[in-house]
Amino acid sequence: MRQPQPTFEVDGAVIRHRRMQMGLEMSELAERADISRRYLSHLENGTRTHMRPRRYTALCKALNADTEALLAPQRTHTPKE
């Protein structure tokens, strides 16, 4: 039985913000990160929130971001009373 691959939960708004700060069009960033424009669009709009390690690393590199920069904030679980 195969173990599921780990994924990184990303924050699409952060990805979009960094892309725009760099003055990149979606297609330019997608090409630099070796992902499709559609996949990048899904990440930015939140339709897709998880990335596999290879793609995540490539996106970080394309955005000159450290490996923590694009991650979604960790949600804290608050017990109901």
**79, two tokens:** 């017990």
Residue in this structure with the two tokens 């939140």, named with its chain if needed: 46
- How far, in Å, CA of 9 to CA of 23, rounded? 24
Calculate the alpha carbon distances from 81 to 13, 74, 76 in Å: 32, 22, 16
pLDDT in tens, 1-26: 777 778 999 999 999 999 999 999 99
DSSP reduced 3-state for 14: helix
Q: What share of the chain is helix, strand, coil (3-state, %, to 5)?
A: 45, 5, 45
pTM of the predicted protein model: 0.85
